[in-house]
Amino acid sequence: MIIIGCDYHPGSQQIAYVDTETGAGQERRLGHREEAEKFYRDLATRGAEVRVGMEASGHGRWFERLLGELNIELWTGDAAKIRAKRVRKQKADREDARHILKLMLKDDFPRIWVASWDNRDLRQLLWHRHRAAARNLRRSGIPESLVKTIGGWKTTSVFHRYAIVDRRDMATAVRQLAEARAKNEHSSTIVGEFEAADSPSTKLQ
């Protein structure tokens, strides 16, 4: 098995890796995305069993998808715990990659659970459908309190995160405001005419 410690950055990654069968190790810096993709695809083409360890990051989605596509095992670690286990506190990309590799080899890597991409895509779909349900219920004229009960939103602030306001909603609001103003202006005109007709000066005439 090839075990790789990866210090990931948006523009590149520093890796330290070792082949557990031969004991051969190496360090490299891989540029994103072409150079890194070629490196991992070459490993997959060789049929090598590969495990990659890296700190949890919100910038590596394309990389996680690539490893999943190539059936390369990815271990995601708790960044704070990984740093806490470092003896030397000074930060350097090469040292960080070596540190992650050492933790993996010692079976001391603070791994965290991360949902698979299929599960993440399903969660995202459900979230969007939940939002659409909030919008459609509200548009149907159902009171907000009842919509919150149906959707399971316990607080108004949480409900408002889900309640989509799109252009059609805004156009409807603008039209209703215009209609309300026109109605008020019409009512004001009628009241004004009535008051004028009922004034003393008008009666004397």
pLDDT digits (tens, 9 = 90+) for 141-158: 777 677 777 777 677 776
pLDDT level of residue 113 (50, 70, 90 thresholds): confident
Residue 197 Cα distances to 97, 183, 188, 193, 202, angstroms? 89, 21, 14, 6, 6
Residue 183 confidence (pLDDT): 77
- Does the pLDDT value for residue 194 go beyond 60? no
| Identity of the residue numbered 151 | G
Mean pLDDT for the stretch of residues 84-109: 87
pLDDT level of residue 178 (50, 70, 90 thresholds): confident
pLDDT level of residue 53 (50, 70, 90 thresholds): very high
SS3 113: coil
Q: Say which residues have a Cβ less than 8 Å from residue 134's Cβ, sequence separation at least 6.
A: 147, 151, 153, 159, 162, 163, 164
Q: How far is CA 101 from the centre of its chain?
A: 28
Q: What is the mean pLDDT of the chain?
A: 80
Question: pTM for the full model?
Answer: 0.59
Mean pLDDT for the stretch of residues 127-154: 71
- Does the pLDDT value for residue 205 go beyond 60? no
* Domains with residue ranges and CATH for the chain: 2-105 (3.30.420.140), 118-197 (no CATH)
